[in-house]
Structure 1
Amino acid sequence: MAGAPLRLVVLTATGQDVRKCSHCEFCSAKIDPEQDISLETLLQMVVMNDEEVLATRTLWSDKVLESAQHVCASNLSLEAILLALRNEARRRGLVSG
């Protein structure tokens, strides 16, 4: 079930504009084994409205969520973005709970 563009979902829920990502790769410097994509790639997928991002292991990893705090050189709240995307996946019925 399609919904609003993911970039707008994140912007509305968090006030974070993922287009502000400077692609510095600071957030991707340390890749956790639970990640299937980097956080930078995750943000790019949101900008491109690639709904596959809602099913990535990176999005659903609690370790990634915990480590996402304070790692963005562009001052994006990656933790808030990840939580907004998780909520959107639930709203779209892609996951339970």
Structure 2
Amino acid sequence: MFRREIDYAYFAARLGWTPEQYGSLTPVQLSFVRKELETRTVRDSEIMQHATEVAVANVLRKKGRKLLELWKKVQPEHSAPPVTKSEFDLLKQAFASKYGKRQRMTTE
């Protein structure tokens, strides 16, 4: 009976939305927002569960054993540049042919 008001109360409480913001979204958009909130809640719960498991394991560890790390350092992945050198040289040539070479301004 009051489904729309219940939905608005949910989004207002979770996200601080005004009635205008809530009313401007379609039902499909609202369902995607609701799903994303659910995903975030699950992810936060899993992080809390992992932190609790690590804390308990560290408390109950035997003397002399190494502590478990809460956060593992992740090495940055070396990804390919978005533009290869040959593509960049072609772009430079196209730019130079279109706009010509500009003189470098010197300040004296």
TM-score by length of 1: 0.32
Q: Which is richer in helix? A: 2
**The structure with more radius of gyration:** 2
Tell which has more relative contact order, 1 or 2 (C-alpha 8 A, sep 6+).
1
